[in-house]
Amino acid sequence: MSAKKKTSLVWNYFEEVSETAAKCLVCSRIVKRPKGNTSNLTAHVHRDHDKESSELQQKESRRRLETQFNEEVSESVARRLYILK
């Protein structure tokens, strides 16, 4: 699995302009992202855009729940397969 893959939900609100900057789709401001991480982008959404901020939070918690669920399911499937062998 590649760690560089853009899986962060914050990309719903940004467009990549370069390796170190992204453009906010809400206010068109350019936000720097040193080291290519998304923490500045997330911070911008939470600081400047109330609606998008709560939307993002909801999406993130929903995704966390789904990930957790999938992990539990695959673990129980794996356990069952192991027992059946």
d(CA 39, CA 18): 16
The residue nearest Zn ion at its CB is: 24
Residue among 24 and 56 whose Cβ is closer to Zn ion:
24
Task: Report, in Å, the least distance between residue 81 CB and Zn ion.
Answer: 48
Report 13-72 residues binding Zn ion (CB under 5 A).
24, 26-27, 29, 48
In this structure, the chain runs to a length of 85
Residue 46 burial (C-beta neighbours within 10 Å; 0-12, 13-18, 19+): middle
Contact positions vs Zn ion (CB under 5 A): 24, 26-27, 29, 48
